[in-house]
């Protein structure tokens, strides 16, 4: 999603001189198109993310729309307090871009795994939180939100080729995007891990017909649309490359509980701290039960006896 | 630090301009001293006496730390170590927009314990933000003790010179010296004014005493303090 995101940003920056790009010395083979086209609007701020967020706050107060880019743990978590007391508190249009949700930085280990970023970000009032499922949706979501009032957090995957079947790059604020229909079970997925959920749903047919929907906007939650979907099912499985607490599963639990919906919830995510070992993304997803086969087995069990 | 604010608000920040985009910016990075800022804003005509008297009242817009929701406060502060980065961004913005506006930030010496202050110091010097002027209220004290005992920042001026800032050292109670330092416009680098001050100056029972960082005055102590300040006039 990085490549298409930056290409789209170059397009937007060509039309709007308020757009700037700040990087925390991250983005090799990703940011060059912007840096080459707009050298005076690109700032490598060095390995100093707190300052980068403070600088972005000062720039935004003066009318700029700064995009701030790093690996998600370094853009979202390291300077979180600067983001909270800066763009969030001041309601300024800073766009924080975090690359690599879940296990995308595979062999780099926990310091590089953003597994709680959605939880801490969606707690902030007035902050839009966007986690696209593929690069086409990433582009559409950027076009739909780059000029939104207040700050935005974008959680981007690294995969610039895979597309979620049936998603067709759709994104609409306040809505989830249904990519496959079926009456037996609802699967909700957030972020690039949606590809595993999609593969699981496909593998389960025709025995189990699942509706799969992508939730790309974690804050404000598309609560009304989600509730309409949840009302139609006896069971839902949420899928996210994120700790179980505070992410998509929690968001859905809140909606089910507050509305008293008779829908059983299974949250699939990262249950324990991934600090004992590392490995490639596919390996780590399997190790933590987030690969398509594990998800399919979990879905079958959840739906068992309910058909 | 009241003297530093007086020098700013009778000098470069003398005109009340609300949120005029072309106003100079001021960031009270040591946000816990907002009461002194409110007094300066009152004297400049931004805040009424009634508003000033609402300080720390329930529902008041004038809390311990300043909020940019006030029409005369540029940036919300209170978490130490964040103001200089925002000031650097504001200064960079002015340059990008071709604007002559200046940016001022007031820091405490204890605040310089924060690593992010030094990230901002690097950034401002690297980008030669000559429209940025920072002031350190060097009173040698922080919440729980003297800075020399808690976490030494000595030698403060040399530290900033080593970071490629233009550094002026002044007596923070010398108004003409402060005014001259604020008027100086060194080319090609950001400015740091290290203002040496005496905590609680003018109130003998407070001067240099750690406990008055937190301690509230009794009515009798208030009368005594005001009498001490009258003598400074």
Compute the Cα dihedral for B192, B127, B183, B46 and give only its sign: negative
Domain containing B181 — which CATH number? Answer: 3.40.50.970
Q: Decide which of A156, A187, A211 is a domain's last residue.
A: A156
Are A106 and A200 part of one and the same domain? no
Task: State the pLDDT at residue A307.
Answer: 43
Under 8 Å between Cβ of A177 and A213: yes
Are A147 and A16 part of one and the same domain? yes
C-beta atoms of B123 and A46 within 8 A: yes
Are A49 and A88 part of one and the same domain? yes
Report the gap between the CA of B157 and the closest CA in chain A (Å): 21
Are A295 and A226 part of one and the same domain? yes
Instruction: Work out how many CB contacts closer than 8 A connect A with B.
Output: 102
Under 8 Å between Cβ of A213 and A187: yes
What residue spans of chain A are helical by DSSP H?
A: 2-15, 32-37, 49-61, 72, 80-83, 89-90, 117-122, 135-145, 194-204, 223-230, 248-259, 281-287, 292-303
A58: nearest CB among B79, B88, B115: B88
**B83 assigned to some structural domain:** yes
Which of these, B79, B36, B76, B45, lies nearest to B172 by C-alpha position?
A: B36
Greatest Cα pair distance, chain B, in angstroms, is 54
Domain containing A86 — which CATH number? Answer: 3.40.50.970
Mutate to test the interface with B, among A62, A78, A80, A82 (most CBs of B within 10 A): A62
Cα B190-A70-A81 angle, rounded to 5 deg: 65
C-beta atoms of B21 and A54 within 8 A: no
Under 8 Å between Cβ of A241 and A268: no
Which regions in chain A score pLDDT beneath 50? Answer: 306-307
Cβ neighbours of residue A111 closer than 8 Å, sequence gap 6 or more: A73
Are A22 and A109 part of one and the same domain? yes
Task: State the pLDDT at residue A52.
Answer: 98
Looking only at the bridges linking them, the beta strands covering B191-196 and B166-171 are parallel
Structure tokens at A70: 């790093």
Under 8 Å between Cβ of A97 and A154: yes
Rounded to the nearest integer, the mean pLDDT of chain A is 97
**B209 assigned to some structural domain:** no
Domain containing A262 — which CATH number? Answer: 3.40.50.920
**Dihedrals φ, ψ of A106, to 5°?**
0, -85
Q: Structurally, how many domains does chain A consist of?
A: 2
* Residues in chain B within 8 Å Cβ distance of A85: 76-79, 82
pLDDT in tens, A169-219: 999 999 999 999 999 999 999 999 999 999 999 999 999 999 999 999 999
Structure tokens at A94: 């800073």
Q: How far is CA A134 from the centre of its chain?
A: 10
Which regions in chain B score pLDDT beneath 70? Answer: none
Are A222 and A143 part of one and the same domain? no
**B227 assigned to some structural domain:** no
User: What is the span of the domain harbouring residue B147?
Assistant: 2-197
B102 CB burial (10 A radius; 0-12, 13-18, 19+): buried
> Per the confidence metrics, is the pTM higher than 0.90?
yes
> What is the value of ipTM here, to two decimals?
0.96
As a whole number of Å, the CA-based R_g of chain B is 17
Q: Structurally, how many domains does chain B consist of?
A: 1
Report the gap between the CA of B174 and the closest CA in chain A (Å): 31
Task: State the pLDDT at residue B129.
Answer: 98
Reduced to 3 states (helix: H, G, I; strand: E, B; else coil), residue B163 is coil
B111 CB burial (10 A radius; 0-12, 13-18, 19+): buried
Put simply, whether A16 touches B (Cβ < 8 Å) is no
User: What is the span of the domain harbouring residue A128?
Assistant: 2-156
B93: nearest CB among A48, A59, A89: A59
């Amino acid at each position: 999603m990085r490549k298409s995101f930056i290409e789209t940003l170059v397009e937007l920056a060509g039309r709007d001189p308020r757009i700037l790009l700040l990087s925390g010395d991250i983005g090799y083979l990703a940011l060059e198109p912007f840096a080459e086209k707009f050298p005076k609007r690109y700032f490598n701020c060095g390995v100093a993310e707190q300052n980068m967020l403070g600088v972005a706050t000062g720039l935004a107060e003066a009318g700029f729309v700064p995009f701030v880019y790093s690996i998600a743990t370094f853009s979202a978590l390291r300077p979180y307090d600067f983001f909270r007391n800066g763009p969030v508190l001041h309601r300024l249009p800073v766009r924080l871009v975090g690359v690599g949700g879940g296990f995308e930085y595979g062999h780099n280990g926990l310091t590089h795994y953003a597994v709680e970023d959605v939880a801490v970000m969606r707690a902030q009032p007035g902050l839009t939180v966007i986690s696209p499922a593929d690069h086409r949706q990433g582009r559409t979501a950027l076009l739909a939100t780059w000029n939104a009032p207040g700050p935005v957090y974008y959680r981007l995957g690294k995969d610039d080729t895979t597309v979620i079947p049936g998603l067709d790059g759709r994104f609409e604020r306040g809505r989830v995007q249904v990519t496959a229909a079926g009456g037996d079970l609802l699967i909700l997925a957030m972020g690039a891990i949606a590809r595993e959920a999609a593969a699981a749903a496909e593998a389960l047919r025709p025995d189990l017909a699942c509706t799969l929907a992508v939730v790309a906007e974690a804050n404000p939650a598309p609560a009304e649309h989600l509730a309409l979907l949840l009302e139609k099912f006896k069971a839902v499985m949420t899928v996210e490359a994120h700790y179980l607490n505070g992410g998509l599963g929690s968001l859905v639990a809140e909606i089910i509980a507050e509305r008293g919906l008779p829908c059983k919830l299974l949250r699939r995510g990262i249950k324990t701290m991934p600090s004992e070992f590392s490995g490639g993304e596919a390996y780590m997803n399997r190790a933590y039960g987030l690969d398509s086969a594990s998800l399919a087995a979990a879905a079958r069990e959840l739906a068992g006896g309910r058909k | 630090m009241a003297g530093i604010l007086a020098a700013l608000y009778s000098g470069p920040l003398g005109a009340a301009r609300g949120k005029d985009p072309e106003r100079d910016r001021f960031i009270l990075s040591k946000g816990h001293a907002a009461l002194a800022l409110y007094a300066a804003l009152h004297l400049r005509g931004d805040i009424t006496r009634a508003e000033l008297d609402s300080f720390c009242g329930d529902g008041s817009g004038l809390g311990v730390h300043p909020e940019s929701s006030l029409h005369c406060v540029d940036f919300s502060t209170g978490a130490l170590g964040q103001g200089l980065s925002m000031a650097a961004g504001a200064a960079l913005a002015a340059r990008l927009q071709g604007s002559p506006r200046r940016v001022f930030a007031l820091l405490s010496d204890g605040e310089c314990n924060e690593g992010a202050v030094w990230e901002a110091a690097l950034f401002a010097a690297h980008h030669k933000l000559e429209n940025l002027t920072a002031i350190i209220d060097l009173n040698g004290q922080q919440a729980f003790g003297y800075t020399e005992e808690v976490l030494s920042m000595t030698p403060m001026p040399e530290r900033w010179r080593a970071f490629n800032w233009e550094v002026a050292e002044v007596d923070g109670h010398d108004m003409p010296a402060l005014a001259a330092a604020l008027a100086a416009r060194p080319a090609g680098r950001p400015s740091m004014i290290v203002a040496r001050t005496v905590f609680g100056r003018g109130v003998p029972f407070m001067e240099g005493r750690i406990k008055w960082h937190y301690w509230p005055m009794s009515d009798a102590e208030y009368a005594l303090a005001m009498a001490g300040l009258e003598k400074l006039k």
